[in-house]
């Protein structure tokens, strides 16, 4: 009888071990992360790298007195460039950056594959294939956000409004810079201080400064009195403004959190 009991106990132990092994086999395997997160802040700043205050009067390098009612622009096709020159590009990469009286949206987060990267590449505006139609909803592109023309096909890439001091009338009068059109789609590359290895599961942060006053004067001096309103044209003036903002972005820092 004792021998029979021992056999039963041993059988139960074997079944228990087999059951545990089966549970282990069916247990989901934790796959190691193959990506990292990058928190991006794109801050509109003055010439002293202090955050722009809406309504405050600033002096451009050309000597004009201006203020901002708001600053809005599209950031698109963000890429991280590896040491060998290849790159990883974010899909559906369209984000609206804005500083207005009721909304501040100057930061976002990107999930980037692990690897060693040396620079960040992105564009200001909307690429021609998306800009040719307002029906394609990619990323945050949306024709109802006030960043497209209702009388002309295409998106507004950079939209600034405010006032400038007109010496003739000795008063502040409005200006409107609504820059778009395919010719003004600008792509720029910002190098990291050193090539950085993006580690699995790690988080990083980068601060990109947009020198908002540059749109009026660097490198092209804009004549606010002659052209206070820029929309689809004059083409030579919108091209100058686009050239100015294309050179106004600077990588302030990139670091591991």
C-alpha to C-alpha distance for 185 and 208, rounded to whole angstroms: 19
Write down the pLDDT at residue 222: 97
* pLDDT (mean) for 115-133: 96
Q: Give pLDDT tens digits for 197-212.
A: 999 999 999 999 999 9
CA-to-CA separations, 3 to 7, 11, 12, 13, 17, in angstroms, rounded: 6, 12, 14, 16, 21
Q: What is the chain's mean pLDDT, rounded?
A: 89
Residue 21's pLDDT is: 44
For the chain, the distance separating the N- and C-terminal CA atoms, rounded to the nearest angstrom, is 68
The model's confidence at residue 6, banded by pLDDT at 50, 70 and 90, is very low
Overall average pLDDT of the 147-161 stretch: 91
In eight-state DSSP terms, residue 51 is B
Both tokens assigned to 218: 């660097």
CB of 244 closer than 8 Å to CB of 218? yes
* Strand residue runs (E) in 167-242: 171-180, 186-198, 203-211, 229-230
For residues 185 and 61, what is the distance between their CA atoms, to the nearest angstrom? 25
Interval 172-194: pLDDT, tens: 999 999 999 999 999 999 999 99
């Amino acid at each position: 009888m004792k021998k029979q009991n021992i056999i039963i106990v041993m059988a139960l132990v074997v079944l228990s071990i087999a059951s545990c092994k089966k549970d282990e086999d069916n247990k989901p395997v934790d796959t190691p992360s193959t990506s990292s997160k990058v928190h991006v802040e794109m801050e509109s700043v003055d010439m002293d790298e202090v955050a722009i205050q809406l309504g405050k009067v600033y002096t451009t390098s050309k000597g004009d007195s201006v203020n901002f009612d708001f600053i809005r622009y599209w950031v698109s096709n963000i890429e991280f460039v590896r040491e060998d020159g290849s790159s990883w590009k974010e899909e559906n990469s369209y984000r609206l950056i804005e500083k207005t009286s009721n909304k501040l949206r100057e930061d976002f987060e990107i999930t980037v594959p692990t690897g060693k990267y040396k620079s960040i590449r992105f564009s200001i505006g909307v690429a021609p294939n998306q800009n040719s139609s307002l029906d394609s909803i990619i990323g945050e592109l949306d024709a109802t956000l006030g960043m497209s023309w209702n009388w002309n096909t295409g998106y507004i890439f950079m939209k600034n409004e405010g006032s400038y001091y007109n010496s003739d009338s000795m008063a502040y009068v409005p200006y409107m810079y609504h820059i778009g059109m395919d010719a003004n789609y600008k792509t720029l590359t910002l190098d990291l201080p050193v090539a950085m290895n993006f580690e699995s599961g790690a988080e990083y942060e980068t601060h990109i400064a947009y020198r908002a006053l540059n749109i009026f004067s660097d490198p092209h001096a804009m004549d606010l009195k002659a052209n206070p309103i820029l929309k689809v044209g004059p083409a030579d003036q919108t091209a100058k403004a686009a050239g100015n903002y294309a050179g106004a972005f600077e990588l302030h820092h990139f670091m591991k959190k």
